[in-house]
Each structure stands twice: as C-alpha cells, then as structure tokens.
C-alpha cells in the first residue's frame, strides 16, 4: 500500500472516529434529555389526576379522563424520540463498522471493534427498545382502556390489537431497519 493511500485511509479513519464520538454524544443527549420527558409527563398526569382536575374533556364524543389524555400525550411525545434514537444508533453502528474496515486495511489497533460486536449491538437494541415500548405502551394502554370503557363496543381480539398497536408498529420499524441494513451490508 502506497503512502498516499495509507494517509488517505488514516484521514478517513480519523474523520469516522470524530463522527462516532459526535453520534455517541447525540445519542447520550437523546437518552438523558429527550427520553425522560415522556415519563415525566406521565408522572405529572398521575400526580395531578388525584382529584385536582375534575373536568373530563370530550374527545371523539367520549369523556376522557385527564389522566388518560396526558398519559397518551407522554406516549406520543416518546415515539419520535424512539425513532431518533434508533436512527442515530444505526448511524453509529454503521460508522463503527466503517472504521473497523479501515482499521483492517491499514493495520492499526482496532478501537471500533468493541462498538460493533454483534452481541453488544443486539442486546443494546433489545434493551433500549424495551424501555421505549414500556413508556409508549403505558400511556397508550391507559388512554385506550379509558376510551373503550366509555361504552364503545369492540371485540376482545380488536381490543387486544388496539392495545398492542404501538408494540406492533415498533416491531415493524425494527424489522424494516434490519432488512434495510441487511440489504446494505450484502451490497457492500
């Protein structure tokens, strides 16, 4: 390998490592500043619904409890935070895989292999997705139970599907991202 190529690859590696640190900072900000707002909204709903607000707003022709309304707002807020988290996590993993390829080409000490091990990435995605699913499903379930409890008729299977809708959507998003990543990896 000529010196120009090696210098180019080394510069590429440095830029990729800078990108990795930047993406890592973004993910940390999302999880420490963005994610907690959804559960905080839900906790505020639980605390304030203990009789402080007596009026129930009318939504879709039903009287919805204040608790249910604010809980679903916390869930709705969390959905785009989850999508941003997943986007930046995938970008981080892709960047680390690129850095690993460059490291293999120029034979330098691998700093990115620990980031991209399949076991860590998979466990990390499962754990973070579970946290988001719990927050989203909590508010959504309380809202839907309250809405359906107001006399709206629905079958047992329909009720289960309505309650599980956020989980189904998150699983579909994860599957699409995994299929896209598999296709991208197989093309390289």
**Residue 120 dihedral angles phi and psi, to the nearest 5°:** -65, -45
Distance CA 174, CA 103 (A): 29
Higher pLDDT, 176 or 13: 13
Residues 6+ apart with CB under 8 A from 140: 71, 72, 75, 163, 165, 166
**What is the domain extent for residue 149?**
3-187
**Global model pTM greater than 0.85:** no
Q: How far is CA 173 from the centre of its chain?
A: 10
Helices (H), 49-155: 66-106, 113-116, 118-149
Kindly state the average pLDDT of the residues 161-186. Answer: 72
Total of domains in the chain? 1
Residue 170: the pLDDT is 76
Residue 188: the pLDDT is 57
Distance CA 88, CA 23 (A): 6
Higher pLDDT, 41 or 1: 41
Distance CA 72, CA 34 (A): 17
């Amino acid at each position: 390998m000529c010196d120009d190529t090696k210098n180019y690859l080394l510069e590429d590696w440095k830029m990729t490592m800078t990108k990795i640190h930047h993406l890592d900072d973004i993910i940390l900000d999302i999880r420490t500043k963005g994610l907690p707002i959804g559960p905080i909204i839900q906790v505020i709903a639980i605390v304030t619904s203990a009789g402080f607000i007596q009026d129930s707003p009318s939504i879709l022709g039903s009287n919805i409890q204040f608790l249910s309304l604010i809980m679903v707002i916390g869930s709705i807020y969390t959905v785009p935070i989850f999508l941003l988290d997943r986007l930046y996590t995938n970008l981080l993993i892709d960047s680390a895989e690129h850095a690993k390829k460059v490291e293999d080409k120029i034979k330098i000490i691998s700093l990115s292999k620990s980031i991209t091990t399949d076991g860590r990435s998979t466990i990390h995605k499962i754990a973070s997705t579970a946290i988001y699913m719990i927050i989203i499903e909590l508010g959504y379930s309380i809202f839907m139970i309250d809405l359906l409890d107001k006399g709206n008729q629905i079958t047992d299977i329909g009720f289960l599907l309505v309650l599980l809708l956020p989980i189904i959507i998150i699983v579909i998003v994860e599957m699409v991202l995994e299929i896209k990543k598999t296709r991208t990896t197989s093309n390289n």
